[in-house]
Structure 1
Amino acid sequence: MNRLLLLRLAIWVLPAASLYALLLTRKRSRPLFAAVVLGLLWNAAALLAINVIALRLEWWSFHQAVPAFMEVAIEPWVGWTILWTAVSLLAEERLVAPMLLAVGWLDLLAMPLLQPLVVLDDSWLVGEMLSLVCVFVPGLLLVRWTLHRTHLKARLSLQIICASLLLLWIVPSVALGQTSAWDSVFQLPTWRFGIILQLVLIPAILGVRAAIEFAEKGQGTPLPYDPPSRVVTSGPYSYVRNPMQLSMVLIFLVGGIVLWNGWLLAAAFVAFVYGAGLAEWHEDVQLFERFNDVWTSYRASVRAWVPRWRPAVSEPSTLLVAYSCGTCSSIGRWFLTRDPVGLEIAAAEDSNDPELRRVTYVPADGPSQRGVIAIARALEHIHLGWAIVGWVLATPVVSHFAQLVVDVFGPTPHAVAGLPYDTAACSIQPEHTRTIASAKAH
């Protein structure tokens, strides 16, 4: 057996055997299964990205005779994915810094021994450091947090990054014929590329917002083995039961149509069949067993795949606006004229919260949210069109930038609790009332 073949076998067989042996010593549990799945997915997606960058910057290269995906040799990629997942499981209780040093030293010793399978350039240590910091450490933390069900927001953020790499890059790369086909996408006219980007971003934002709602209200993540502690019925879930699955199908469907790619259309079909068949049946049984009447009632109100135009709201929420502020009271009137479902407009001056300085959204089942996020959440109570605007506005980074703009150019945030106000400040004019009544009648 020549050296190249021996390396190709050893580089994935030994890590796989190590992970298997490690799992044999552990008691089977949902958190363990979730941690292993997430660890493998994270390391696979992130290591692929690092290797593609390394090839472009010539940090290292691979033997031309070995099977490759996106020009990355499959055996080293799979082997390192399994190895780092196994190390993350082994190091669940240990400090991050010592484990980082240990893995770094292991790579320093092992990488030069992989020639001719992996050919290192003089600058390969730059790629190694980037891999450790951007792939290994986040993967280690994701596995640890999933095992112990801690740091919900952080592990959800890593799951969203992982899902984005898989759905928006890896799967389309397979459909487009790996890396070279992306050149044809980026060479499209600017206007066409912009339209495609927006059409893909809308369902992607739906998925992100649904995942965040899952964590905020259900204290769980989208992974079936890391489920929420309650039925989530707010946000995107007040319009459709499967917003994350719908998001995935729409991403592939839109991409397949605008690029006229049969593989992406096939991916959309497979995702829909799986989601509407086996996954929905399995989740339906589990959710009924766990939540019984609550799930049955929600299931009867909201469709699985076709969104409602108006939300299904079981418990009303409140939008607190300052009646003594002209701009804020106009926001209250704007919402009232649009007849929101399950949203009450109340005077912020009546609040006992001395820290209330911005428009505040008080949901029936979670923490209050202020400022731009509050407006975004309130938009979900009008109809699907405004809800989509709200989901875009509530997206991380977008919401922070929007809040900065409002703080610079809008009214100065100030405490209003206990201030006098005009009780009619947010009243709807009679003609508006008649318009709403007429619309309801029709």
Structure 2
Amino acid sequence: MLTVPVIRDVLLFLSFVFLFYLALKKDQNSRINWAMFFSSLWIASTLPLFNIISVDYGLWSFAEHENTVIQMPWDLYFVWIVLWGVMPVYFLRGNYMHIVSGVLFWIDFVLMPMLQSEGLLTLHEYWWLGDLLLIILVFLPGYLWARIFIYRKLVWLRALMQMFVMGIFLFLTIPFCINIYFPFQPDYFHSDSLTTQLSFMISLPSLIAVLDLVQKGKGTPFPYDQTNNLVRNGVYAYIKNPIQWSFTFIFIPISIYYDNYWILIGTLISIFYVIGVSNHQEHEDMFVRFGKEWDDYNNSVPSWIFLWKPEHYPVGKIYFQKGCNPCEGVHSWFKEKETVNLEVDYEDNYHKKIAQVTYVDYLGNEYRSVDAIAHAFEHINLAWASLGWFMRLPVIHELLQVIVDGVGFNEAPCEIENGVRKQKT
């Protein structure tokens, strides 16, 4: 009779064999390969986190002698990633999501009591609920990520999942790995509000960069899920690598929070990676995709230092509605400012009727009301652009729009009668 250790060794061996087969087989499908990578990345990032939470809440626990930093055996963790992140995507291409989820839940429901009987695992009363949540929060999102990547759907969701995984990597995985070699206890003497503010300031350029890559570039930050358009406005008019800049310097507030300055090694590694690997690959790929447009942009915008004035900002146009006192005031304000390549005009010279204000960028994207003003701020300087980036953030944008609408700048056109602004009906 096969024992659990033998079964684990066999599963580990078969997992490696399957991965070697995928790596060496002919007729590689790059889209499927990257779909398997994305699915595995999600599972590899979220499985340890969910398992630690499950152990802490008493849903299950692995044998004491198997304890690791992720509180589960490393070989089981690796096999789990292959079984959930690689095989279903390779064989089913992201299809039959409900059936696959049900089958995996049934397998776990049968297998986990067997592992308990062999002394590897201890299950508690509501372990089945934890396993159900494991399917919903770990497997399903990873499988969904693979599916929407294969079929090129929901670009905003693909970008959101990338950000979530990178957040786990930066704020949890790296500190945990450093703690293995340089043990530390978090010191909460430092002000949480200060660390939060510093983290937000460093993260803001990358958050807006991701938003622009999705909305304007029609792609994501990952080079293997690339954009269709070269984004040259927004934060990209001030610095060439805003995401890499944020990624590099975010280790400063993280090290302050954990009170461990070994974490700053991440900043050095990031700089060396960008200079030695990323820049070479990115520049070559961007030139192939965008040619002279990329060459001109690359030569006009720095990689690591923010410009104060965006001298090469692509032409943008902002149109205001006539006969609306608040609109006239904002129109005059922009006219008086020293903007870069911002054309300020009235709706008469636009091809359709507008409400209050509309901004049109060089790619033909339209933005209205709060979004329009925020984009126009980017034509002034870094200080005003930073305010515009804050205004464009999800939730912040919606709240500002509610306030603007609440004081009379709603979407209905307005007119002046005897010096009083009235809404047209």
Normalising by the smaller structure, the TM-score range is 0.7 to 0.9
User: For the residues of structure 1 that align with 2:22 and 2:142, how far apart are their CA atoms?
Assistant: 17
Deviation of 1:84 after TM superposition, in Å, equals: 1.2
Extract unaligned runs of 5+ from structure 2: 418-425
Any conservation in 2 of the 1:317–1:344 contact (CA below 8 Å)?
yes
Q: Which amino acid aligns with 2:270?
A: A
Deviation of 1:299 after TM superposition, in Å, equals: 0.9
Q: SS state of the match for residue 196, structure 2? A: helix
The 1:136–1:353 alpha-carbon spacing in structure 2 relative to 1, beyond 3 Å, is farther
Any conservation in 2 of the 1:240–1:307 contact (CA below 8 Å)?
yes
Deviation of 1:176 after TM superposition, in Å, equals: 4.9
Counterpart residue number, 1:102: 103
Deviation of 1:276 after TM superposition, in Å, equals: 1.6
Q: Which amino acid aligns with 1:57?
A: Y
Q: Which amino acid aligns with 2:299?
A: A
Instruction: Report Cα offsets for 1:186-209 as digits up to 9, x if no partner.
Output: x336xx110111111222232222
TM, length-normalised to structure 2? 0.87
Counterpart residue number, 1:302: 301
Any conservation in 2 of the 1:236–1:243 contact (CA below 8 Å)?
yes
Counterpart residue number, 1:160: 163
Q: Which amino acid aligns with 1:262?
A: Y
Counterpart residue number, 1:348: 347
TM, length-normalised to structure 1? 0.84
Any conservation in 2 of the 1:12–1:82 contact (CA below 8 Å)?
no
Counterpart residue number, 2:365: 367
Deviation of 1:18 after TM superposition, in Å, equals: 4.1
User: For the residues of structure 1 that align with 2:335 and 2:180, how far apart are their CA atoms?
Assistant: 51
Q: SS state of the match for residue 250, structure 2? A: helix
Counterpart residue number, 1:437: none
Counterpart residue number, 1:401: 399
Counterpart residue number, 2:141: 138
Counterpart residue number, 1:53: 53
Deviation of 1:99 after TM superposition, in Å, equals: 2.0
User: For the residues of structure 1 that align with 2:80 and 2:207, how far apart are their CA atoms?
Assistant: 29
1:42 counterpart = 2:64: no
Counterpart residue number, 1:434: none
Q: SS state of the match for residue 69, structure 1? A: coil
User: For the residues of structure 1 that align with 2:328 and 2:12, how far apart are their CA atoms?
Assistant: 64
Q: SS state of the match for residue 93, structure 2? A: coil
Counterpart residue number, 1:64: 64
Aligned ranges 1:245-284 → 2 under 5 Å: 245-256=244-255, 261-284=260-283
Q: SS state of the match for residue 218, structure 1? A: coil
Q: Pick from 154, 171, 175: which aligns with 2:174?
A: 171
Deviation of 1:2 after TM superposition, in Å, equals: 9.3
Any conservation in 2 of the 1:196–1:258 contact (CA below 8 Å)?
yes
Identity score, percent: 27
Deviation of 1:72 after TM superposition, in Å, equals: 4.2
User: For the residues of structure 2 that align with 1:228 and 1:264, how far apart are their CA atoms?
Assistant: 32
The 1:174–1:315 alpha-carbon spacing in structure 2 relative to 1, beyond 3 Å, is same
The 1:126–1:211 alpha-carbon spacing in structure 2 relative to 1, beyond 3 Å, is same
Any conservation in 1 of the 2:359–2:372 contact (CA below 8 Å)?
yes
The 1:40–1:26 alpha-carbon spacing in structure 2 relative to 1, beyond 3 Å, is farther
User: For the residues of structure 2 that align with 1:176 and 1:340, how far apart are their CA atoms?
Assistant: 49
Instruction: Report Cα offsets for 1:254-280 as digits up to 9, x if no partner.
Output: 433565533221011001110122110
The 1:358–1:104 alpha-carbon spacing in structure 2 relative to 1, beyond 3 Å, is farther
Any conservation in 2 of the 1:173–1:181 contact (CA below 8 Å)?
no
User: For the residues of structure 1 that align with 2:341 and 2:283, how far apart are their CA atoms?
Assistant: 26
Any conservation in 2 of the 1:12–1:80 contact (CA below 8 Å)?
no
Any conservation in 2 of the 1:42–1:162 contact (CA below 8 Å)?
yes
Deviation of 1:403 after TM superposition, in Å, equals: 2.0
Aligned ranges 1:116-127 → 2 under 5 Å: 116-127=119-130
Deviation of 1:367 after TM superposition, in Å, equals: 2.1
Any conservation in 1 of the 2:35–2:145 contact (CA below 8 Å)?
yes
Extract unaligned runs of 5+ from structure 1: 422-442
Instruction: Report Cα offsets for 1:190-232 as digits up to 9, x if no partner.
Output: xx11011111122223222212212222222222222222322
Instruction: Report Cα offsets for 1:92-121 as digits up to 9, x if no partner.
Output: 252322222122212212222223333221
User: For the residues of structure 1 that align with 2:211 and 2:370, how far apart are their CA atoms?
Assistant: 16
User: For the residues of structure 1 that align with 2:363 and 2:330, how far apart are their CA atoms?
Assistant: 23
The 1:27–1:387 alpha-carbon spacing in structure 2 relative to 1, beyond 3 Å, is farther
User: For the residues of structure 2 that align with 1:294 and 1:172, how far apart are their CA atoms?
Assistant: 40
User: For the residues of structure 2 that align with 1:331 and 1:176, how far apart are their CA atoms?
Assistant: 53
Any conservation in 1 of the 2:213–2:219 contact (CA below 8 Å)?
yes
User: For the residues of structure 1 that align with 2:385 and 2:29, how far apart are their CA atoms?
Assistant: 38
User: For the residues of structure 1 that align with 2:331 and 2:180, how far apart are their CA atoms?
Assistant: 52
User: For the residues of structure 1 that align with 2:336 and 2:184, how far apart are their CA atoms?
Assistant: 49
Counterpart residue number, 2:220: 221
Any conservation in 2 of the 1:175–1:261 contact (CA below 8 Å)?
no
Counterpart residue number, 2:31: 31
The 1:350–1:269 alpha-carbon spacing in structure 2 relative to 1, beyond 3 Å, is same
Any conservation in 2 of the 1:375–1:390 contact (CA below 8 Å)?
yes
User: For the residues of structure 2 that align with 1:274 and 1:391, how far apart are their CA atoms?
Assistant: 27
The 1:145–1:25 alpha-carbon spacing in structure 2 relative to 1, beyond 3 Å, is farther
Deviation of 1:372 after TM superposition, in Å, equals: 2.3
Deviation of 1:407 after TM superposition, in Å, equals: 2.4
Instruction: Report Cα offsets for 1:313-342 as digits up to 9, x if no partner.
Output: 453111223342222332333333332222
User: For the residues of structure 2 that align with 1:389 and 1:177, how far apart are their CA atoms?
Assistant: 40
Q: SS state of the match for residue 228, structure 2? A: coil
Counterpart residue number, 1:424: none
User: For the residues of structure 2 that align with 1:243 and 1:6, how far apart are their CA atoms?
Assistant: 49
Deviation of 1:301 after TM superposition, in Å, equals: 0.2
